[in-house]
């Protein structure tokens, strides 16, 4: 599993001011951000000039989700093919995920995994591990760089939309045992529709653990031996209630509960 690491910080009085500025301005992801005159790439230029119709003199915020940096900028030249900006000195991103939060997400067909990525990023996840469980679509179990690039683009766009200055790492798809190996110590939860243990029973661990990881099965759920494997790695099976949820809905619900419990 690979990806770039950033420092994780929470809300402080100093970051609140930068956050208010960032969310009130258009935010544009730029990899390799630097001060001075910068020409945005074709996608960013189209987004600034065609979608939002910014013209010379308009202010915006550029952010580099890989380096956890951001900078104020002013548009100097603008057309849909090339936008030039004067960029201030970059600073540490004002809002990043405050603690390690991992989702081991079962591979699912359709756009379910895409939606899980979007919601996970908006809810503060730092690492997403695509897992090839027994009930995952067989066509998705092999690693695909094209698929990972799409998920990365979705993650960056979700960071832009929610105001984050960092981005969740998308790991290489892996079978269950490999995925469970290397997850940081801390609160470990496994969503299982047959569990008799409500997630709320783990509130103390959720509130006090530095790192949290959550296993979410694919459509059709987890096999018994996969739940047993999670137990062997220290995961506690938990339930989100009596209703059967779609895999992406279960991910969003669990992360929402974690965010609420941590405050």
Q: Give the pLDDT confidence of 179-205 residue by residue, as tens digits.
A: 999 899 999 999 999 999 999 999 999
Statement to judge: residues 42 and 79 lie in one domain: yes
Statement to judge: residues 108 and 83 lie in one domain: no
Give the Cα separation of 9 and 222 in Å (integer): 34
Statement to judge: residues 184 and 72 lie in one domain: no
Under 8 Å between Cβ of 170 and 151: yes
DSSP per-residue letters across 78-102: EETTEEEEEE---EE-S---SS-EE
pLDDT in tens, 109-134: 878 999 999 999 999 999 999 999 99
Enter the pTM of the model.
0.83
Q: Are strands 69-79 and 127-131 parallel, antiparallel or unpaired?
A: unpaired
Statement to judge: residues 124 and 230 lie in one domain: yes
pLDDT at position 80: 74
Give the Cα separation of 91 and 107 in Å (integer): 36
Say yes or no to pLDDT of 5 above 50: no
pLDDT in tens, 70-95: 999 999 998 878 999 999 999 999 89
Statement to judge: residues 105 and 213 lie in one domain: yes
pLDDT at position 81: 82
Integer CA distances (angstroms), 88 to 15, 30, 47, 75, 129, in order = 18, 14, 20, 12, 35
Length of the chain: 263
User: For residue 246, what are its two tokens?
Assistant: 């779609």
Range 164-168 average pLDDT:
94
Domain termination site, one of 92, 124, 143: 92
Q: Where are the beta strands (DSSP E) in 68-207?
A: 69-79, 82-87, 91-92, 101-106, 127-131, 169-170, 187-191
Say yes or no to pLDDT of 20 above 90: no
Range 41-57 average pLDDT:
90
Statement to judge: residues 42 and 113 lie in one domain: no
Range 157-174 average pLDDT:
93
β-strand partners of 169: 127
Q: Strand order of the sheet with strand 127-131?
A: 169-170, 127-131, 101-106, 212-216, 187-191, 236-238
Say yes or no to pLDDT of 158 above 90: yes
Summary mean pLDDT of the chain: 88
User: How many CB atoms lie under 10 A from the CB of residue 180?
Assistant: 23
pLDDT at position 109: 83
β-strand partners of 28: 62
> Which CATH number goes with the domain that contains 115?
3.40.1280.10
Which residues constitute the domain of residue 22?
13-92
User: In the structure, what pLDDT confidence band is assigned to residue 143 with cuts at 50, 70 and 90?
Assistant: low
Give the Cα separation of 40 and 170 in Å (integer): 25
For the chain, what is the domain count?
2
Is 5 a member of any domain? no
| DSSP structural state of residue 228 | H
């Amino acid at each position: 599993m690979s990806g770039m690491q950033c420092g994780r910080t929470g809300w402080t009085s100093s970051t609140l001011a930068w956050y208010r500025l960032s969310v009130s301005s258009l935010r544009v992801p730029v990899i390799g951000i630097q001060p001075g005159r910068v020409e945005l790439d074709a996608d960013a230029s189209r987004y600034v000039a065609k979608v939002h119709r910014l013209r010379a003199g308009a202010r915006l915020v550029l952010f580099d989700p890989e380096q956890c940096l951001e900078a104020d900028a002013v548009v100097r030249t603008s057309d849909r093919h090339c936008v030039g900006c004067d960029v201030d000195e970059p600073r540490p991103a004002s809002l990043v995920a405050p603690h390690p939060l991992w989702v081991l997400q079962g591979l699912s067909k359709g756009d379910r995994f895409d939606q899980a990525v979007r919601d996970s990023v908006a809810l503060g996840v730092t690492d997403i591990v695509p897992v090839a469980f027994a009930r995952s679509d067989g066509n998705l179990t092999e690693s695909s760089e094209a698929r990972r690039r799409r998920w990365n683009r979705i993650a960056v766009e979700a960071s832009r939309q929610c105001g984050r200055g960092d981005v969740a790492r998308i790991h290489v798809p892996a079978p269950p045992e490999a995925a469970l190996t290397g997850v940081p110590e801390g609160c470990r939860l496994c969503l299982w529709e047959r569990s008799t243990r409500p997630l709320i029973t783990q509130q103390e661990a959720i509130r006090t653990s530095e790192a949290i990881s959550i296993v979410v099965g694919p459509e059709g759920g987890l096999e018994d031996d996969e739940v047993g494997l999670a137990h062997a790695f220290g995961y506690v099976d938990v339930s989100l209630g009596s209703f059967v949820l779609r895999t992406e809905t279960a991910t969003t619900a669990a992360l929402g509960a974690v965010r609420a419990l941590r405050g």
